[in-house]
Amino acid sequence: MSQCELEQCGTEKQVLGLGSQLALSNDLSNWYRKPYYLLAKKSLPTGNVYVALFIGGFEDEVGVQQVILQEKAVQTGLVSVNADSLKQQIDVDGKALIYGIYFDTGNAQIKAESKPTLDAIAELLKRNPDLLLYVVGHTDDTGDGAANVNLSKQRADSVVAALVKNYQVAANRLQAQGVGPYAPASNNTSDAGKQKNRRVELVKRLR
């Protein structure tokens, strides 16, 4: 939380600049005198909530400017992963995009919350014993391209290793590859786009 009152808020120009950012018309008119300012944050499961409050006086009246801003989690609109949806994607497009395998930043170790997605991939392979796959790792465009290619390959290797070790999938049915940021599914200029680019793809192999 941050706040100021009266002279603590700065010069007349600084006060006008601060209050005008909260005013709907971007203009405080005379409501910058005797300023009081408060910025507070509350963390909620659905996202942070910020409240900014500017109070100013003019003669015997009081003016209040208030802004409330609530963050929302990035929504990708992606379908939940299950064996049937994966098979449908592969039959139509020759590949399935996977967004439910999680890693820490810069790390290739699969996080525990990835298990439901790995379960679905294993079930897909169990139901379709002749299916061969490339497991292709992708990253967003943050950082060095060559390093991202290496990281994406390591992550694909981790997915293959988990399927072989934990689900007894035959190793010769899976081939790992990493392409880093070079085959994006969306833009790299927004959080939603970057999230779509950080993915694993299951690409059907013919042999």
State yes or no: pLDDT of 108 exceeds 60.
Answer: yes
For residue 91, the model assigns a pLDDT of 94
Task: Tell me, rounded to whole angstroms, the distance of Cα 30 from its chain centroid.
Answer: 42
114-126 pLDDT per residue, tens: 999 999 999 999 9
Question: How confident is the model over 77-102, as a mean pLDDT?
Answer: 85
Give the CATH number of domain 83-205: 3.30.1330.60
154 Cβ contact list (under 8 Å, min separation 6): 108, 137, 178
Identify the H or E element spanning 154: helix 145-167
CA–CA separation, 63 vs 28, rounded Å? 9
What band does 79 get if pLDDT is binned at 50, 70 and 90? very low
Residue 103, amino acid: F
The neighbouring-strand residues paired with 45 are: none
User: The pTM is what?
Assistant: 0.62
Q: Residue 46: is it exposed, middle or buried by C-beta count within 10 angstroms (0-12/13-18/19+)?
A: exposed
> Which residues of the chain form CATH 3.30.1330.60?
83-205
- The strand ranges marked E within 107-156 are 132-138
Query: Which helix (DSSP H) or strand (DSSP E) does residue 180 occupy?
Result: strand 174-180
Signed CA dihedral, 182, 102, 117, 128: sign only: positive
pLDDT, tens only, 142-195: 999 999 999 999 999 999 999 999 999 999 999 999 999 999 999 999 888 888
8 A C-beta contact, residue 132 and residue 204: yes
- Whether 46 shows a pLDDT value over 70: the answer reads no
Rounded Cα–Cα distance for residues 49 and 32 (Å): 25
Measure the CA–CA gap between 183 and 103, rounded to whole angstroms. 19
